[in-house]
Structure formats: structure tokens, C-alpha cells
Amino acid sequence: MTTIHFTETTTSTPEQFVAALTDFGPGRAEIFANSHDDYLKVHDQGRGYADVTEGSGGVWERLHYDWSDLNHVVLTTTDSNTWGGASGHTYTFTRRADGTTSIDVVIVREGKNLKGHLLATLFALGGKNVLRKAFDNTVKAIENRNLTTTVSDA
């Protein structure tokens, strides 16, 4: 099992970030590079939760999203062609005095087959930088989305 942890600061509020995280419409890959429209399927969605399959590049997972607490969002892997066990993502948001938000991210990857074990090992060896870069791109895309929304609302 591989656990990757990092913290990022954003100008987005927790509500803005969670709104993007839980927007399962077309074009999701523009915000989340590993969630292509071809893989995206919303099985169920309600107030504060969703059951969604997503992925890219031959790797998919079905995730239970729980955003009942907007400051602590948990994505639990319930099925996958690669990941099993305790796999998932946790986002913890902390508002800062300067108006920014600190995002604490924990990604757990537990391979359930040879492909998963190999990918988890690659993540352990150098994947933190790859995942960090992808997350930095996501944060920037959400900030830009919020700027565009703010400008068009004005």
C-alpha cells in the first residue's frame, strides 16, 4: 500500500473547490486530468454524496464521494480494475486568515492485482511528484474557473 500526502494553498474557498470536485459533467478532464469523459459514469448522486466511476489510460475506479462535511471530503474506492483495499482520496480544507484555503491531500493506493501493485510501487518511488504536479494543475484550473465565473457574474 502506498500513501501519498501533500498540502497546497489556493485562493479558492472550500465550497468552490468542492463544487468543482463534485461536478461530474462533460469536460471534467479539463480540471481533473485522470477523469476522462469516456470513463465517467454517475451511478447515484444525492445531497452530499455520489457514486461515480471514472478513470483514464486503462485505469478506472468506482468511488463513493462523501462531501457531507465541506471541510473534509472523502473518496473511497469501491471497485476498480487496479485499486482495492484502502484505496481512495481525502481532502481536508482549512480556511486561512489571509483569505486563502489550505488543502491537505492524502491519496492511498493499494494494488489489487499485478497492474495495481506495479503502479502503487511506481507511485511510492516517484509518483508523489507526478500526482503533485497533476494536483497543482487542478488547483490552478479551479482558480481560473472561479475567476471566469466571478468576471462573468460581474
Share of the chain above pLDDT 70, in %: 96
pLDDT band per the 50, 70, 90 thresholds, residue 151: low
CATH number, domain containing residue 58: 3.30.530.20
pLDDT at 41: 97
14-21 helix and 128-153 helix, angle to the nearest 10 degrees: 110
pLDDT in tens, 19-36: 999 999 998 999 999 899
Burial of 117 (0-12, 13-18, 19+ CB in 10 A): middle
Which of the residue ranges 66-75, 97-106, 140-149 would you say has the lowest mean pLDDT?
140-149
State how many domains the chain has: 1
pLDDT at 7: 94
Amino acid at 5: H
pLDDT at 128: 80
DSSP summary character for residue 126: I
Mean pLDDT of the region 103-132: 90
pLDDT band per the 50, 70, 90 thresholds, residue 153: low
Segments forming the whole domain that contains residue 83 = 2-153
pTM comes to 0.91
pLDDT in tens, 40-71: 999 999 999 999 999 999 999 999 999 999 99
What is the Cα 11 distance to its own chain's centre? 17
